[in-house]
Structure 1
Amino acid sequence: MRVIPLAVVASLPLTSAVTLSRRASTLIPTSALDNTSVFEQYFVYNYPWGGDTHNGGARMNKAHVNIASPGVLTLTAQPVKGQPPATHGGKQIPINYLSGAVGAKQHFTVPTGGGFVFSGSFQATTTKGTWPAFWLTAVNGWPPEIDMAEWKGSGKISFNTFNTSSVLSWKDVTYSNPDKFHDISCEVKDVNGQDTQVKFYMDGALQATHVGKGYTGKPFYLVINLQMEGSSGSPGPTTNTTYSIKNLEVTTL
């Protein structure tokens, strides 16, 4: 391989055929979970579009989001009674839990020729009525949506990409040892200036590859939440449920 001295590279015209490799940059560092003060520089409480309910039986609040030990974020769902119902999709949903949700302050837009890697280690329950998730969803309208990891009380983990509410790709994988942390990584990368390739990994192994039609150039919210009941079934647990995350990081490709 021919090595070109830096002084020569600096003197080359912009039209030269020499191409310098792009370096990844860190958008959310693993240190973001070191303590609450650092965490709040990168994340907001509840859903990032505003509001404390979404499509399940939990109402989110700050009190149920905690960094008890440096580097580990824990969301706790607590059974409660007497909460007013939520409205989603024109329907009223009973609220049977108080729980936690957080969203990144930054939006993530896949650029032409670029992309992101979202990664972390997750300890997630698969008990009926529990619905932890690590996902991306559209800032403007819906879809797109990428469920980078979703557990819906079935003993499995789901990886989903929505092009419309009825046109989607998904992969369900048996989720062994839910009491242990598992490494989750999702690579989203522009493929043609319009569509985005989505690769899902668990514990270092590729689980699925999807294509998000028209995802390139559209901003996403990043959400981590412990929803309850809803698509995960009911009734849910009668005792507290926890969902923990560590080694969270977002980088560019």
Structure 2
Amino acid sequence: MASSRLLHLLALFIGAELVSARHSDPHIEHALKKRATTLIPDTVFSSQDELEEYFDYNYPWGDTHNGAALMSSAQVTIIDDAYLQLEAVYTGTQADNSALSYNSGTIYAKQYFTVEANGGLDFQANFVAPVAEGCWPAFWLDGVNSWPPEIDLAEWKGDGKISFNTFNTSSIVAAQDYTYSTPTTAWHTILVELRPESDDSTLKADFYINGDLMTTQYGAEMVGQPFYMIIDYQMLGSSGTSGPTENTYFDVQYLSVTSYNP
């Protein structure tokens, strides 16, 4: 059984690498859109109260994760009643934990997100993201019951690129990097459409930047699985071993989540 699952995962991974990016079937999409339900409205960052209606601070499991930043609500701000700002501040080595050298901000949605058979989810937001070495902002889905699954809806790892990733296992990962202009000075719209395949087990993910389809990836046995949604400004870790000493910011605007589940 284990070997057959591995072969299935490998087939999905290879298929994701070989398939040309394509749009979803317009007839199916038209039918889905008729039952669209807003789970998180694009006004969610219009006030601190609105933010706190839908999100909690830090990670679902605590205030640290795989990097050098300690998370706290003090680093999370709504700017001009218009957008979310996560601020990373260099502190030097922290007395309570020598592995930490930044204070920063992360939030996660209070609700879980699951793609059901014959349904789907859309995640969309605008971002201004720091891409200097040591800066590691991310917009991602993490399995509630286990890891994996994980889907990085958008991730920046200190190299000037944006990454889209789907983790079937820790080693079987579909990944796509894209270099785009003005990441730190202009808003860029990320849209990820999650849809079940016909086997009602495999999850298909279409990743878009500013309306252009960048890549299509697949996750085995992800249909029906609950996910956390996390907006995260971590430091160092996968983005490098040295980072900025000046304050840096990760901005998010017009976040929305739409469900097409039955």
Q: TM-score higher than 0.5 here?
A: yes
- CA pair 51-20 structure 1, distance change in 2 beyond 3 A: closer
Q: Report the counterpart of residue 250 of structure 1 in structure 2.
A: 257
Q: Aligned equivalents of 1:20 and 1:67: distance in 2?
A: 33
CA RMSD of aligned residues (A): 1.5
Contact 2:93 2:99 in 1 (8 A): no
Q: Aligned equivalents of 2:99 and 2:32: distance in 1?
A: 56
Q: Aligned equivalents of 2:220 and 2:258: distance in 1?
A: 22
Q: After superposition, what is the alpha-carbon deviation per residue over 1:113-158, rounded to whole angstroms, capped at 9, x for unaligned?
A: 1110000100001100000000001001110000000000001000
Structure 2 residue 44 is matched with structure 1 residue 42 = no
Q: Aligned equivalents of 1:251 and 1:85: distance in 2?
A: 41
Structure 2 residue 105 is matched with structure 1 residue 120 = no
Structure 2 residue 195 is matched with structure 1 residue 183 = no
Task: Report the count of equivalent residues.
Answer: 228
Q: Aligned equivalents of 2:108 and 2:216: distance in 1?
A: 25
- CA pair 85-112 structure 1, distance change in 2 beyond 3 A: farther
Contact 2:193 2:205 in 1 (8 A): yes
Offset at 1:20? Answer: 10
Q: Report the counterpart of residue 87 of structure 2 in structure 1.
A: 76
Q: Report the counterpart of residue 164 of structure 2 in structure 1.
A: 159
Structure 2 residue 236 is matched with structure 1 residue 224 = no
Give the one of 213, 217, 226 matched to 1:210.
217
Offset at 1:176? Answer: 1.3
Contact 1:56 1:228 in 2 (8 A): yes
Amino acid at match of 1:103: Y
Q: Which has the higher helix share?
A: 2
Q: Aligned equivalents of 1:107 and 1:221: distance in 2?
A: 5
Offset at 1:82? Answer: 4.2
Contact 2:32 2:119 in 1 (8 A): no
Offset at 1:70? Answer: 1.2
Offset at 1:71? Answer: 2.0
Amino acid at match of 1:126: V
Contact 1:30 1:71 in 2 (8 A): no
Structure 1 residue runs of 5 or longer lacking an equivalent are 1-18, 87-92
SS in 1 for 2:140: strand
Give the one of 95, 99, 103 matched to 1:98.
103
Q: Aligned equivalents of 1:114 and 1:20: distance in 2?
A: 7
Q: After superposition, what is the alpha-carbon deviation per residue over 1:176-195, rounded to whole angstroms, capped at 9, x for unaligned?
A: 10121100010111112111
Contact 1:136 1:222 in 2 (8 A): yes
Q: Report the counterpart of residue 12 of structure 1 in structure 2.
A: none
Structure 2 residue runs of 5 or longer lacking an equivalent are 1-30
Offset at 1:21? Answer: 7.5
Q: Aligned equivalents of 1:20 and 1:94: distance in 2?
A: 47
Structure 2 residue 146 is matched with structure 1 residue 146 = no
TM-score, reference length from structure 2? 0.84
Amino acid at match of 1:109: T
Q: Where has structure 1 moved over 2 Å in runs of 4 or more?
A: 19-22
Q: Aligned equivalents of 2:95 and 2:245: distance in 1?
A: 19
Structure ID, larger Rg: 1
Offset at 1:50? Answer: 2.6
Q: Which has the higher strand share?
A: 1
Percent identity over the alignment is 47
SS in 1 for 2:44: helix
Q: Report the counterpart of residue 27 of structure 2 in structure 1.
A: none
Q: Aligned equivalents of 1:156 and 1:146: distance in 2?
A: 17
Q: Report the counterpart of residue 31 of structure 1 in structure 2.
A: 43
Contact 1:43 1:104 in 2 (8 A): yes
